[in-house]
Amino acid sequence: MRIEIDGTRLWNELGTLAGFSDTPRPSVTRIVFSDQDARARAYVKGLFTDAGLAVREDAVGNTFARWEGREPALAAIGTGSHIDAIPHAGAFDGTVGVLGGLEAIRALQRAGVRPRRSLEVLLFTSEEPTRFGIGCLGSRLLAGSLDAGAGETLRDKDGRTLNEVRTAAGFDGDLAGVRLGPGYYAGFVELHIEQGPLLERDGVPLGVVTAIAAPASLRLFFEGEGGHAGAVLMPARRDAFLAAAEVALAVEAAAKESGAVDTVGTAGVCEVFPGAINSIPSRVKLELDIRDIDGDRRDAVLRKVDEAIAEICGRRKVEARKEVINADSPAVCDASIVSALSTACERHGLAHRKMVSRAYHDSLFMARLAPAAMLFIPCRGGFSHRPEEYASPEAIAQGALVLAEAMATLAL
């Protein structure tokens, strides 16, 4: 069996997909259920169909493209990722996993492979939290980690519910039916750019992921007292922004004090009211992301942040209210899939390293449904979620090759 990747075709397809964007090249902006998202989905579904795959969609738009195996009743081997993109992102986040997964199956078809298990490419809906404020929407529903009631409780910035938006995009039906039954997949492996600098820095072609970090996402509301910037003296102030700023610094300190390089904390959103240079901020919304591959260690950081909020707000006479957006558990990748990926790398003479994923991925939730792992390829400078995001054609083709080899092994 000789597996060969058509790297030129794959590269060109990635370029075409990048053109479905609300912002000009090289940036990509493709928000879930937007017009550009619909056009991109149609393009990808056309590629699935051209490859002879059976395509179906569920009530939230997760799209399944299946190459039926010799024993279709057996649990399938899945791969895939997402194609939605945050504003002013790049062309490779998620898309490499979708189109690379498709090319892996096409390569196996060309090689005359007849897998025992069916092979399936899965295009996840809304891995990015841009529209509804929560990441991995489609895979959460697939894993049963998000209740069907989210269809009414999740809203976009215009106040439209998930149910309203998905229905307008052509996806209807009960969200409870999205959940996959036990044993649907025998294994799941996701190809992705690293979104960090380690593989490129060390000159390693591929990374085999052994664990996936998970964030706790918090939304904090601070209520102080506004006033004229000149008239209210410093001892009398109840500045909501300064309280929020101290909390942001406390997040950084707590993450650094965990004792592990895998603990990270970010204050990524800060909205100040009224937002005038000569007015003391009276209200602030702060959104935090605290993540680790060790759930207990991450939760210890969360407790330190809670203590800091109480101390800072008490001292500054500012009220604080907290909403937990999500607090997901990290995932440990399946040893047999890690082994299949490592063996595939070795079979093709490609050096690899075992590593953890510090970024969030749909595989985190797929690991609750089936044995799962990930395969990383280098990205230039470690850049991601920005227009400069870049993975070379050679790296993408190597990733697709190893993915194909591992899927063939797992489908035996």
0.75 cut: is pTM over it?
A: yes
Domain end point (choices 292, 327, 362):
327
Q: Verify that 363 and 322 share a domain, yes or no.
A: no
Predicted confidence (pLDDT) at residue 146 exceeds the cutoff of 80: yes
Predicted confidence (pLDDT) at residue 37 exceeds the cutoff of 90: yes
pLDDT for 64 equals: 98
Phi, psi of 383 (to 5 degrees): -75, 135
Q: Verify that 98 and 135 share a domain, yes or no.
A: yes
- Per residue in 218-268, pLDDT tens? 999 999 999 999 999 999 999 999 999 999 999 999 999 999 999 999 999
CA atoms of 143 and 107, how far apart (whole Å) = 29
Q: Verify that 200 and 345 share a domain, yes or no.
A: yes
Q: Verify that 189 and 279 share a domain, yes or no.
A: no
Domain end point (choices 277, 306, 327):
327
Q: Verify that 78 and 177 share a domain, yes or no.
A: yes
Structural domain total, the chain: 2
pLDDT band at 1 (very low <50, low <70, confident <90, very high): confident
Per-residue CA distances from 134 to 153, 320, 337, 384, 410 (Å) = 12, 22, 28, 19, 32
Percent of the chain with pLDDT over 70: 100
2 falls within a domain: no
pLDDT for 77 equals: 98
Q: Verify that 401 and 313 share a domain, yes or no.
A: no
In which domain, by residue range, is 246 found?
Answer: 216-327
Predicted confidence (pLDDT) at residue 402 exceeds the cutoff of 90: yes
pLDDT for 360 equals: 86
Q: Verify that 342 and 320 share a domain, yes or no.
A: no
Q: Verify that 335 and 313 share a domain, yes or no.
A: no
- Per residue in 191-223, pLDDT tens? 999 999 999 999 999 999 999 998 899 999 999
Domain end point (choices 305, 327, 349):
327
Q: Verify that 38 and 157 share a domain, yes or no.
A: yes
Q: Verify that 294 and 347 share a domain, yes or no.
A: no
1 falls within a domain: no
Predicted confidence (pLDDT) at residue 174 exceeds the cutoff of 80: yes
What's the whole-number average pLDDT of the chain? 97
Mean pLDDT of 7-15: 98
Q: Verify that 185 and 316 share a domain, yes or no.
A: no
Percent of the chain with pLDDT over 90: 97
- Per residue in 102-111, pLDDT tens? 999 999 999 9
Residue with tokens 């990290």: 330
pLDDT for 366 equals: 98
Q: Verify that 171 and 312 share a domain, yes or no.
A: no
- Per residue in 90-142, pLDDT tens? 999 999 999 999 999 999 999 999 999 999 999 999 999 999 989 999 999 99
pLDDT for 342 equals: 98
CATH label of the domain that carries residue 12 = 3.40.630.10
pLDDT for 67 equals: 98
